[in-house]
Structure 1
Amino acid sequence: MNPSLPAPRPFPALLRIQALEAWYELLAVLRQPAFALPTLLFPVVFYLLFAVVLPGKWGGLERAAYLLATYGVFGVIGPALFGFGVGLAIERDKGWLELKRVSPMPTMVYFVAKIAMSLVVGLVVVCLLSIAAVFAGGVRIAPGTWVLLVATLMLGTLPFCAIGLWLGTLVRGQGAVAVVNLVYLPMSVLSGLWIPIFAFPVLLQKLAVLWPAWHLGRMALGVVGQAQDVRYGLHATVLLATTAVFLGLAALRLRRG
């Protein structure tokens, strides 16, 4: 063994480091009410407004079940975009990222902790939405279907983590919130997450395929039975390709400083 190289850490020790970093990342987010409260409450409030206050069906579709899927997507991509985009930008400005790079902690632990934070916050949002859907919206969903929906939404956060990571390498901390919102909100609306995509002009319906949120939304709608002929393989491929592209772009930016 080369004595100049640090000895590899035992796997249990690495797991402990990862768990601690993820826990501190989650605590940091929860201590920021300007991030935590809107992220947790906005999807539920919008859901109650459009699914419960304005009940009904759209061409045989159940409004409450339909919006559970689309607002579920809206709810999980927010923590991914803001956790990486805003968090990374602020930590770059403060020099924390450089400090973590020179520390003994493996660099990958830092990024995995942010993914874990996004998944935990996203899961809480989905659970709150599900409670609202069942008790206020009258949605009846089988346990197996709900688990499949949650799994789809959780795995679907990865491309948005990658997009957030890339945005975090582009902007400074003070402007990060505005830039992320300029991506998050138009993408959510134009992907049909707030209002069904069939309510849009034909041109916007055709352009929706350009948004990764639309592809995740189609998968979620298919899981809850509110979309027919869903091409899961195609949508998953688009999301994986989006993840790879933006991870590559972010890696290039991080290497350049």
Structure 2
Amino acid sequence: MSIAYLGLESLRQIRNARSMIFTLAVPLVMLVAFGGAFGASGQTDPVTKLPWIAVTTIQVAGYGGMMAALSLAFNIVTERSIGWNRQLRLTPLSGTGYLLSKLVASMLMALVSIVVIFSVSGILFHSDLPLANWLTAGLGLWLGVIPFALIGILIGQFAKPEYAQPLFMAVFMGMAVLGGLWIPLQIFPAWVADVAVIVPSYWLNRIGQMGAHQNGDILTPAVVLLVWTVVLAAFIVWRYRRDAARS
């Protein structure tokens, strides 16, 4: 039952054209705008020492993957509002299967977003970064999206329908800014950078850059993202069990 529902949930997300367009349109516009302004000139980013278009693509792909992962919140809010989650508890589907299906569907959406953004960047801007480096950067970003998928599930578990949109935007925009996925952190006061190292989006950007370099202390971002994953997963399981007990 859990495997069957997992397949159906993943297929439902991929076939949701409106959601796919929402999670791809803004990142692609950003890629074309920023890449066209700086990427075609072959400049190198002075901070990361990567080609500017590689830095821009990683930031935009992280932005798109994070958006795709977090957007799962709306589906869960809708299911809770119509009582679908309570109906599922009457079936053989386990709580673990339900939560896992949401996580996998969210990660699948994020993967599509990252692959499309990387592909469009390669077609339009022809970066000289080796293919292997692009692959490790994309893999790092995709695995780094896991905490955001869990945040999306958590928002879906708590938010009421009328508050889901503003809560999503507050979390998403805050994470995007503090992670340097939208605006470089160097232009902000120093205290903003100090706060940024606490949030997972900062380390999502870092792990993508390290993948592109194929060197650096990858253990630090991996551990930070893992800690976020474990804490969020424990909180989600607690919330789900509490919700199930009340219903």
Query: TM-score scaled by structure 1?
Result: 0.83
**Amino acid corresponding to residue 19 of structure 2 in structure 1:** F
Matched-pair identity in %: 25
**Amino acid corresponding to residue 255 of structure 1 in structure 2:** R
CA distance 1:152–1:186, shift in 2 (3 Å): same
**Amino acid corresponding to residue 58 of structure 1 in structure 2:** D
Shift in Å at residue 178 of structure 1? 2.0
Shift in Å at residue 34 of structure 1? 4.2
Q: Distance in 1 between matches of 2:107 and 2:152?
A: 14
Choose the corresponding residue for 2:28, options 44, 51, 74: 44
**Amino acid corresponding to residue 68 of structure 1 in structure 2:** T
When Rg is computed on C-alpha atoms for both structures, the one with the higher figure is: 1
Q: Distance in 1 between matches of 2:62 and 2:92?
A: 36
1:45-84 equivalent positions in 2, closer than 5 A: 45-55=29-39, 56-59=43-46, 60-83=49-72
Corresponding residue SS for 1:180: helix
| Mapped contact 2:14–2:109 kept (Cα < 8 A) | no
Q: Distance in 2 between matches of 1:138 and 1:243?
A: 35
Shift in Å at residue 39 of structure 1? 0.3
Shift in Å at residue 54 of structure 1? 3.7
1:136 paired with 2:128, answer: no
For structure 1, list consecutive stretches of 5 or more residues without a partner in the other structure. 1-13
Corresponding residue SS for 2:127: coil
Shift in Å at residue 162 of structure 1? 1.6
1:113 paired with 2:101, answer: yes
Shift in Å at residue 30 of structure 1? 4.7
Alpha-carbon RMSD = 2.2
1:247 paired with 2:233, answer: yes
Shift in Å at residue 95 of structure 1? 0.8
1:236 paired with 2:225, answer: no
Query: TM-score scaled by structure 2?
Result: 0.87
What is the aligned residue count?
238
| Mapped contact 1:134–1:140 kept (Cα < 8 A) | no
For structure 2, list consecutive stretches of 5 or more residues without a partner in the other structure. none
1:85-100 equivalent positions in 2, closer than 5 A: 85-100=73-88
| Mapped contact 1:82–1:177 kept (Cα < 8 A) | no
Structure 1 segments, 4+ long, off by >4 Å, are 30-34
Q: Distance in 1 between matches of 2:137 and 2:237?
A: 31
Counterpart of 1:220 in structure 2 is: 208
Counterpart of 1:10 in structure 2 is: none
